[in-house]
Structure 1
Amino acid sequence: MNHSIIDSSSDRPFSSIGRFLLEMGKITPEDTNRILQLQKEENLKFGDAAKRLGLITDVDLQQALSRQFEYTYLPADNKKYSEDLIAAYKPFSAQVESFRVLRSQLLFRWLSEGFKTISIVGANSGEGTSYVAANLAIVFSQLGKKTLLIDGNLRQPRLQGMFALKQNFGLSDILIDRTPRTELLNIIPDIPNLTVLGAGTLPPNPQELLSREVFLQLVKYASTAFDVVIIDTPPINQGSDSQIISSVTKGAVLVSRINQTTIDEMRSLKIQIQGASASVIGAVVNNF
């Protein structure tokens, strides 16, 4: 059936909701006649008529609307990714609204100045840098920004598991020239505009690898191909990796966890990041 269904209550093509519902498998071509008939009789929107007939649920309609407005998110029954990706699974929650506020601040204070790269840095393990990096990358992608998320934690990486990456090679393998960089980029099909580069093979010398010129060149190359580049980093108490990464990105968002990170630790983190000639462009207090 031609998906250019005409709304029988007007002379204009009806909204793309019907097409998306068809593509999602929520309705059949045969259902559309019943929906259009009820739509005409009750003067309803297509989606509301489909709901009235019991053909779709509120969740189905929200999914279709998200596609129509290019604001894709994941249905709860999609268990492919980590539930920590709340920006993808619960985009209308208060937590995700906080990520959107952070995104706006970074747009105004950093990206509008011509910068594209951001490192996410914490003082200690368990403060949620990967959580912040992943969800911040998702909300940027939902804005239509072509976003690259890099796992720069070459000690205890988390992004491969969070995004169910099948590629075992990644950043570390690029840094030792084991494989071409473009082959390792993971386009996330369920989250348009988002690409992830995993950490790759865990090396015995992460600081030395990140200090190589090839890392600087990789980040420069990425900033020409993407609108936003976000790099997750290991905690600063595990070494100077995050300082090295921040010296390349030139800007860092500091992450702390409520009732865990001390003020002195955050002061020390700020001093160390600024000592790496990077700007502190934001701070997040995690409570998850």
Structure 2
Amino acid sequence: MSQQIIDSKTHENVSSIGRLLLDMGKITPEDTDRILRRQKEEGIKFGDAAKQLGLITEDDLQQVLSRQFDYAYLPAANAQYSADLVAAYQPFSTQVEGFRALRSQIMFRWLNEGFKAFTVVASDSGEGASYIAANLAVVFSQLGKKTLLIDGNMRQPRQHKIFNLKQSFGLSDILADRTPGAEALFNIPDFPNLTVLGAGTVPPNPQELIGRQNFPQLIKYASSIFDVIIIDSPAISAGSDAQMLASISRGAILVSRVHHTSIEQFRLLKNQVEGSGANIIGAVVNNY
């Protein structure tokens, strides 16, 4: 009983950051006394005092600040997802600033016009469409937008690997009426606003599945629940899947890669996407 009284009195002076550090297991109740004393002596913030005492690292402090400001990101030690998720693992990097700039462009040119869905398209495999789609999904979710990422690449899907999805069912299974949609959705625990729909079972007829009427119905239904719907697509060179996906979503982000995509390839990509009736919202020159 006496220990509980001591702990409760000590915690009365602990800042909100201190409480989060305790909840996360970064510091112990015994550490708080030392931190509070150093904080008073130096006239500094609780987190800075804890760092000065060597009880937490700068990464620990940034992580707890992200929780305090409802800005989810992952410490490098968390290897649950692919390192390709730079928006999750390196949110303060110059690289991720580029994703936030692209996010702003999409918001001003597309979402603010009343649209919600768009497709990420590249001319060839290896140009980074899946990488761009995944990181865009993370930065939109960090903004507080309810985000759905759909892996529409039913030829060579990647999002299940990037996000370490456990379900075997996905988009193809929904379109083939093999599973209810809700069972195929995966809410990403570390990103409360992010839901991923994997490609599912690799089918022999992806193009025909996309052409079914239930795909536009799926997008329409998802639009009533989510703020943003991002569709990853196979390369244009693999077939007309990407054009069909872009046509259904009505918007497209074009992806090229430095020292990989030729000007002629990009021009052809632009023409094919415009030919599908989709609006080109923006273009990304990828250098990963």
Report SS of the residue matched to 2:255: strand
> Cα distance, 1:34 vs. partner?
2.0
1:11-54 superposed Cα distances (whole Å, 9 cap, x missing partner): xxx64211211111001122212212221222110101111222
Separation (CA, whole Å) in 1 of partners of 2:160 and 2:8? 40
> Cα distance, 1:81 vs. partner?
0.8
Contact 1:3 1:19 in 2 (8 A): no
144-153 or 23-32, larger mean C-alpha shift: 23-32
Separation (CA, whole Å) in 2 of partners of 1:87 and 1:68? 18
**Which structure 2 residues correspond to residues 130-169 of structure 1 after superposition, within 5 A?**
130-169=130-169
Give the corresponding residue for 1:253.
253
Contact 2:121 2:252 in 1 (8 A): yes
Report SS of the residue matched to 1:120: strand
Give the corresponding residue for 1:36.
36
Contact 1:39 1:45 in 2 (8 A): yes
Report SS of the residue matched to 2:12: coil
Change in 2 beyond 3 A, CA 1:4/1:68: farther
Give the corresponding residue for 1:223.
223
Question: What stretches of structure 1 move > 3 A for 4+ residues in a row?
Answer: 1-7
Separation (CA, whole Å) in 2 of partners of 1:53 and 1:61? 13
Report SS of the residue matched to 1:87: helix
- 2:119 maps to a residue whose letter is S
Separation (CA, whole Å) in 1 of partners of 2:38 and 2:242? 59
Change in 2 beyond 3 A, CA 1:258/1:15: same
Change in 2 beyond 3 A, CA 1:3/1:230: farther
Give the counterpart of 1:6 among 6, 12, 16.
Answer: 12
155-164 or 186-195, larger mean C-alpha shift: 186-195
Separation (CA, whole Å) in 2 of partners of 1:274 and 1:2? 64
Report SS of the residue matched to 1:130: helix
Q: Which runs of 5+ in 2 are unaligned?
A: 1-6
2:254 counterpart of 1:283: no
51-60 or 135-144, larger mean C-alpha shift: 51-60
**Which structure 2 residues correspond to residues 48-127 of structure 1 after superposition, within 5 A?**
48-127=48-127
> Cα distance, 1:191 vs. partner?
1.9
Separation (CA, whole Å) in 2 of partners of 1:59 and 1:152? 35
21-30 or 33-42, larger mean C-alpha shift: 33-42
Change in 2 beyond 3 A, CA 1:5/1:235: same
> Cα distance, 1:192 vs. partner?
2.4
Give the TM-score taking structure 1 as reference length.
0.95
1:188-221 superposed Cα distances (whole Å, 9 cap, x missing partner): 1112211100000000000000000110000111
Separation (CA, whole Å) in 1 of partners of 2:10 and 2:121? 49
Give the TM-score taking structure 2 as reference length.
0.95
Change in 2 beyond 3 A, CA 1:155/1:72: same
- Kindly report the root-mean-square deviation, in angstroms, between the aligned alpha carbons of the 2 structures: 1.3
> Cα distance, 1:122 vs. partner?
0.4
Give the corresponding residue for 2:20.
20
> Cα distance, 1:3 vs. partner?
10
**Which structure 2 residues correspond to residues 209-220 of structure 1 after superposition, within 5 A?**
209-220=209-220
Give the corresponding residue for 1:11.
none
> Cα distance, 1:2 vs. partner?
5.2
Q: Sequence identity of aligned pairs in percent?
A: 66
